[in-house]
Amino acid sequence: MNLEQLHTQSESRRLEFKESFGKDTVETVAAFCNASGGVILIGGQMAATLENWNLNT
């Protein structure tokens, strides 16, 4: 699944959106490691648009 597809999903047990990297993000990483893994998108919000994201990097 690519970034555009992930961004259209809602948060779930395997997908989290974080506005910045902090203690909450570290806790989510630990939770995903202890479960079945997942994806954390940092720097965006759930309902935000992709217009300011550089998808070519």
Q: In 39-49, which positions are buried (b, 16+ CB within 10 angstroms) versus exposed (e)?
A: eebeebeeeee
pLDDT in tens, 10-55: 888 888 888 888 999 999 999 999 998 898 888 865 544 555 555 5
Domain with 33, as residue range(s), is 3-42
Tokens of 2: 């690519």
Residue 35 belongs to some domain of the structure: yes
Tokens of 20: 């910045």
CA torsion sign, 26 to 20 to 6 to 1?
Answer: negative
Domain total of the chain: 1
pLDDT of residue 54: 58
Residue 30 belongs to some domain of the structure: yes
